A and B are shown apart, each in its own frame.
Chain A
Amino acid sequence: MGGPLASAALLPRLYAGEGAAIARMLTRAEAATPEAREALAEIYRRAGRAHVIGITGVPGSGKSTLVGKLTRALRATHRKVGIIAVDPSSPFSGGAILGDRIRMSELATDPGVFIRSMATRGSMGGLARSTQDAVDILDAAGFHLILIETVGVGQDEVEIAQASHTTIVVSAPGLGDDIQAIKAGVLEIADVHVVSKCDRPDSFRTVADLKSMLAMGAVLSRGGWSVPVVATSSERGEGIGDLVSAIDRHREYLHHSGALRARRQRIAEYRMLKTAEDLLRRRFAASRAGRVADLAERLAARELEPYSAAEELLNSAFGSTYHE
């Protein structure tokens, strides 16, 4: 076939919304192929129109199923929807089982929906390293709404709020009491709360706990937006329409209040810092080679203490220019 097609040659097809071209560009973004960098830069300049919705919650809270139902409802408003579904990589083999698509089978052949699965590859925080490149690619390909489904998170993975315009936190009934609801962490990042599986009898308690947490003012720093709690049941198809209108109201709010500009700035800043940290980490990994084992041995023998060992490692990796 005459070798790989240049990324620049994919762009016109990608802008026209051609599935195979979008898919190939996503692969190259994920692989961080140097050849693709200029094309990704052009995509970045072109993107910025889509509304990005982050969906997070504990494992098994029903995120994927909800994404399926939500997308179906959003499609009724004739908007094209791109979905990025992140699942964890194995810490041992690096492999992954990406199973989110199974729950979205009703979208399988809708030409206005594009679903892509991504593995975290050791990246913490609930997203993959290239998730935001993927957002830009789908944005530039003409998708109006982009849904990012994070890995099932614990309490502390809040990166999604730095990547999306509207953050939805999904809680399932039966996983904790009102003290869980006032803890710091992932619950604080929600622009919209969803309580899933509301066909279960104990779901009213989860809804009540979240509402009283919100009333307590834990999240009052949201400006003029009051965070709604939407009860859904994917099984019965209930509450999905309410969720669509909550998302649209939040989008309107961002536009009219001027908060959108601030949020875009925040997303850009976070992304720049994260990319810089990434580069630094890679440079560090390359330049510390050969120094780690020796220092670790002296540290284990308690000849060194951790702080000076770390300083010595940094000095040898980056030269004596490193000072706190």
Chain B
Amino acid sequence: MNQAIRIMLAKVGLDGHDRGVKVVARCLRDAGMDVIYTGLHRSPDEVVTAAVQEDVDILGVSLLSGAHMTIFPRILKLLEERGGQDILVVGGGVIPDEDVDALKKMGVKEILLQDTPPQVIVETLRELVDARGPR
């Protein structure tokens, strides 16, 4: 049976702005995906526990606070520890261009910055899941 892509959208830490992530949630829903939103101010521990329980294809973390270089490594390490290493981690929000490569090297699959059109977000996520294959 053809299964919808499952994605969790998370806001981690002190960042209190979620207008953007809600718009993304809505456009992914309209693209036929199952979107789980965690709400604001979650810790990496909470987000990773939820992502593993929900067995999402993708964990999308939106960050506007500048804490990305601390939070992404923490999330990737926890996913590894909890058996969620096949969950694809994608970043979004306000992240300086010069950090993008470093984040990808760490294991973040893609960084979708604030000016990415909705259709590109949808296509990128679909391609990532296709490339991963069945699990």
Q: Which A residues are closer than 8 A to B by beta carbons?
A: 1, 3-5, 18-24, 26-27, 30-33, 89-90, 92-99, 101-102, 105, 108-109, 114-117, 119, 121
Contacts and interface: CB of A to CB of B under 8 A. Distances in A.
A101 B32 contact: no
A105 B34 contact: no
Contacts of B45: 108-109
**A20, A95, A117, A119 — which one has the most chain B CB atoms within 10 A of its CB?**
A95
B60 interface: no
A99 B9 CA distance: 11
A93 B86 CA distance: 26
Nearest to A22: B53
Contacts, number: 102
A101 B50 contact: yes
A114 B31 contact: no
Contact of A115 (B32, B37, B53, B133): B53
5 contacts: A20-B84, A26-B55, A105-B39, A109-B45, A116-B53
A102 B39 contact: yes
B83 A98 contact: no
B31 A93 contact: yes
Q: Interface on chain A toward B: helix, strand, loop, or mixed SS? A: mixed
A240 B77 CA distance: 37
A95 B134 contact: no
A109 B46 contact: yes
A119 B4 contact: yes
Contacts of B134: 3-4
Contacts of A116: 53-54
A114 to B, nearest CB: 6
A96 B50 contact: no
CB-based closest 10 A-B pairs: A20-B83, A102-B39, A23-B55, A95-B29, A108-B46, A31-B3, A98-B36, A27-B55, A95-B32, A94-B32
Interface in B35-58: 35-39, 42-43, 45-46, 49-50, 52-55
Contact of B49 (A4, A97, A102, A109): A109
B30 A93 contact: yes
A97 B35 contact: yes
Contacts of A99: 36-37
A105 B84 CA distance: 20
Nearest to B48: A109
B54 A117 contact: yes
A24 B37 CA distance: 19
B129 to A, nearest CB: 13
